[in-house]
Every structure is written in structure tokens, then in C-alpha cells.
Amino acid sequence: MPEFKHISVLLHEAVEALAIRPGGIYVDGTMGGGGHSSEIVRRLLTGRLIGIDKDDYAHMRARERLKDHLDKVTFVRDDFSNLIAVLDRLQIPEIDGLLLDLGVSSFQLDDAARGFSYAKEAPLDMRMDRSSSLTAEELVNTRSAEELADILFRFGEERHARRLAAAIVRRREQAPIRTTTELAELIASAMPGASRREAQHPARRTFQALRIAVNGELDILENALRDAVSRLSVGGRLAVITFHSLEDRIVKETFADLARGCTCPPDFPVCVCGNRPTVALTPKKPISPSEEEIAANPRSRSARLRVCERLPS
Ligand SMILES: C[S@@+](CC[C@H](N)C(=O)[O-])C[C@H]1O[C@@H](n2cnc3c(N)ncnc32)[C@H](O)[C@@H]1O
């Protein structure tokens, strides 16, 4: 297996945001290669870290990275959307913090065989969990033009979604589309001239959209955030790093909803709903990487960290 490196994004900021108590129980829901996990576990004395990832290769990497702290770590190969079931299985009623660093790691992106990158020839796979059945190849070759256009528009914000979906369907009528480069070239040639000359590769948004659809990334997010908050102890923190506006919007709106107290119309003289906020936003605005971090790791450019803290009920 090739040794690609993943540079953890907003490492210091995210771990500080968790305000770690040395005896607390923390969950890293997207453990990846264990970059954030290793900083969390270093701060624990009697506490425990539950490291979740659905990618088997991420577990290999994280075990190696965390090898000096294995007595404090429980590894779980699962989807973080199953948090409640995972905690129940481990008989953990409450946690003191949870981190989500969403998306894919560099070692997934850079490993051509995984099919995440338009720049590297590979089968169109894109599964984070390689035991799941749906691949990008299946999506591209079996979904209707309408469904494909919907995926490209919703998950890639691709304004030429219909045109590209039609081009995909025309091409696969001749032969199935099997590889990343085949798809990337097809997208590039189907783009109108101006979009072909953008600084970023014309297939970038299509690849993002397919990856999100294959892994169900956005569908699970809101419920997963609500589940996480429901298991936080009072004062416990939820920290989420996102990499594109679609994810960030879900985190922002879900946090705002949980932080909203009274939902009575503004002209009511007194509160009749009795609703109280579940969390406080800490801080109110998202945290972005510093210029130094962006210079050292350009992949961090679009990252946003949002944090909330559980309030007493
Ligand atoms: C950006 S990387 C995390 C990197 C990690 N924080 C580090 O510093 O090494 C995201 C990881 O989350 C995993 N992942 C993404 N969505 C997931 C989900 N719904 N459930 C479990 N793991 C997921 C991916 O497999 C990937 O390894």
C-alpha cells in the first residue's frame, strides 16, 4: 500500500475547541490516519478515545499512529451516523466531546486505486467503505439523465448539470464508462468553452458530487449532529470541520436550530413555547485556517470549523 501523507487541518484549533478534560470520553468520528486523535489522546489521563472510521485502511494508519496509546483507544469500524448504536454497544451513556473532520483524507484522494481523483487513472469507485456495494461506476452507468443531473446539481453545484448528464448518458449508450480519466475527459469535452478554461479542472464539481452521492455524505449529516448533541454531557463540545459550502450550511443551520431558544413569534409579549436552547455556539462564527496553514497545506483553504457546547436542560 503506498504511503501517502495526510496533513490534519485546523489541528490545534479543533483540539483546543474540544476543551479536553483528562478523564473525559471523546469520540473522533472521522479518525482517518489519526492526526486529530493523536492530539486528543495525548491530553487524556484516565479518559478514553473512541476512534470511528468506516475505511479499513484508515484504521491501519490510525493504529500505527496511536500505537503508544492503545490502552486509551477503542477502534470502531462504522459510520459515525451510527453513533448512538456504537455508544450503546460500548455501554457509554454520555460523551464529553466529539470531532468530525468531514470528507476524505489525502491518503484516500492520492491513492489512485480508490478512484476519488480525476487526475489519476483508476476504476470509478469512490467508496470510503469498501464493503458497501454502491460505486461511482454503478451510479454513472445506471442512473437516468434526470437523476444524474440532480446529483451533479445538488452535490456539486454544477450549473451545467443537465448538459453533462446528457453527455454521460450518450457516451454510455456506446460503452459503459469505467475509469476516472474516461469520465474526466468526457466531462471536459462536454463543458462549454468558457467553463473548460476555468483555473480548476472542469470535472472537479462532478467528482465531488459523485463522491458525496456514493458515500451518502450529506444525507446523514444533520441527524448525526443531533444524535451527537443528544449524547453530550453538559459542557461537552461538538466540533465539526467542513470542506465545502454544502456541508457547512447543514452544520450552520443545525447548530443554529439547536442554539435557538424560544420559537414564539417576535411580537408575543411573553414566551409560550417554553423551548430552551440545547447548545451555545462557541464561538458564534466559524473558524478558518490561518494564512500560514493555507500556505503550508493548500487543501485546508476551504475548511471551516464550527463548535457548539451542550447546555444544561
Ligand atoms: C478528512 S479525513 C480525517 C482525517 C483525520 N482527522 C486526521 O487528522 O488524520 C476523513 C475521514 O473520515 C472518514 N469518514 C468520512 N465520512 C465518514 C462517515 N460517515 N463515517 C465514518 N467515517 C467517515 C473517511 O474515511 C476519512 O478517513
In a domain, 232, yes or no: yes
CATH number at residue 209: 1.10.150.170
In a domain, 1, yes or no: no
In a domain, 111, yes or no: no
In a domain, 108, yes or no: no
Find out whether the beta carbon of 51 lies less than 6 Å from any atom of ligand 1. no
**Cβ atoms < 10 Å from Cβ of 104:** 22
pLDDT at residue 206 greater than cutoff 80: yes
pLDDT at 3: 57
User: Both 97 and 238 in a single domain?
Assistant: yes
Contacts of 156 by beta carbon, 8 Å cutoff, 6+ apart: 205, 206, 207, 208, 209, 210, 212
User: Both 274 and 237 in a single domain?
Assistant: yes
3-state per-residue secondary structure call for the chain: CCCCCCCCCCHHHHHHHCCCCCCCEEEECCCCCCHHHHHHHHCCCCCEEEEEECCHHHHHHHHHHCHHHHHHEEEEECCHHHHHHHHHHCCCCCEEEEEEECCCCHHHHHCHHHCCCCCCCCECCCCCCCCCCCCHHHHHHHCCHHHHHHHHHHHHCCCCHHHHHHHHHHHHHHCCCCEHHHHHHHHHHHCCHHHHCCCCCCCHHHHHHHHHHHHCCCCCHHHHHHHHHHCEEEEEEEEEEECCHHHHHHHHHHHHHHHCCCCCCCCCCCCCCCCCCCEEECCCCCECCCHHHHHHCHHHCCCEEEEEEECCC
User: Both 93 and 122 in a single domain?
Assistant: no
In a domain, 112, yes or no: no
User: Both 193 and 280 in a single domain?
Assistant: no
User: Both 40 and 170 in a single domain?
Assistant: no
User: Both 267 and 288 in a single domain?
Assistant: yes
User: Both 207 and 80 in a single domain?
Assistant: no
What rounded mean pLDDT belongs to the chain?
94
Q: Which of 15-24, 96-105, 120-129, 258-267 has the lowest mean pLDDT?
A: 258-267
User: Both 87 and 165 in a single domain?
Assistant: no
The tens digit of pLDDT for each residue in 138-178 reads 999 999 999 999 999 999 999 999 999 999 999 999 999 99
% of the chain exceeding 70 in pLDDT: 97
In a domain, 3, yes or no: no
Q: How far is the CA of 69 from the centre of ligand 1 (A)?
A: 20
In a domain, 98, yes or no: yes
pLDDT at residue 226 greater than cutoff 70: yes
Q: How far is the CA of 294 from the centre of ligand 1 (A)?
A: 20
User: Both 122 and 209 in a single domain?
Assistant: yes
CATH number at residue 58: 3.40.50.150
Mean pLDDT to the nearest integer, 80-95: 98
Tell me the whole-structure pTM to 2 decimals: 0.93
Residue nearest to atom 12 of ligand 1 (CA): 30
Candidate from 41, 49, 53, 73 with most ligand 1 atoms within 8 A of CB, to mutate: 53
pLDDT at residue 135 greater than cutoff 80: yes
Per the structure, how many domains does the chain have?
A: 2
Q: Which range of residues forms the domain containing residue 209?
A: 118-215
In a domain, 113, yes or no: no
The tens digit of pLDDT for each residue in 239-296 reads 999 999 999 999 999 999 999 988 888 899 988 988 899 999 999 999 999 999 999 9
User: Both 209 and 122 in a single domain?
Assistant: yes
Domain boundary among 167, 188, 215: 215
Work out the pLDDT band at 1, boundaries 50, 70, 90.
Answer: very low
User: Both 79 and 150 in a single domain?
Assistant: no
Q: How far is the CA of 75 from the centre of ligand 1 (A)?
A: 13
Residue nearest to atom 2 of ligand 1 (CA): 105
pLDDT winner (highest mean) among 93-97, 119-123, 194-198, 200-204: 93-97
Domain boundary among 215, 240, 273: 215
User: Both 137 and 190 in a single domain?
Assistant: yes
Find out whether the beta carbon of 155 lies less than 6 Å from any atom of ligand 1. no
Domain boundary among 169, 187, 215: 215
